[in-house]
Structure 1
C-alpha cells in the first residue's frame, strides 16, 4: 500500500485548489465577450488577465505537468501581447 501512495502525486495539504466555479465563470465571461463583439479593449484585456491567472493557478497545482506549464506560459504571453497592442492603440 505504501508503494502505491509513493507513486501517486498527492498535493500538499495547504495547496489551494482551483475551484470549478472559477473555470465556469471564465467560460461564461468568454461567451459574453464573443456575443458582445464590441467589448472595449479593457474588458478583453481584463478577461485575458483572469484567464492567465487561472491557468497559472492550475499549473501551480501540478508543477511537473509540462502541458499545464506550457498553457500557463502561453496565456501570460497573450496578455503581454494584448497589453502591448492596447498601448499602441490597436485592437
Structure 2
C-alpha cells in the first residue's frame, strides 16, 4: 500500500469566507476521525485571508478516496463548492 499526500492551497471567494471559517473546525475534526488519516491541516494565510494552505496524508488510496467522497457529500462540500483548488496529489 502507498501513502497518499495532498498539498497545495484553496482560494475562497470573499462572499464565502465567513461560511468557510465557520465550518472549517468541524471539517478538520471530522477528517481527523477518518480511518486512514495520518495528518490533515488547513491554515489561513496571514497575508491573504482568502487563501488557505492545505496538507493531508492518508495511509492509502482507499482511505483518501473515502475522504474525498465524504467531503463532496458533506456540508463542507456545499460551503466550498465555489472555492478554487490548487492541489498536488502524490503516492509514495
- Please, what TM-score do these two structures have when normalized by structure 1? 0.31
Higher share of residues assigned helix: 1
- The higher-RCO structure (CA 8 Å, 6+ apart) is 2
Structure 2 length normalisation: TM-score?
0.31
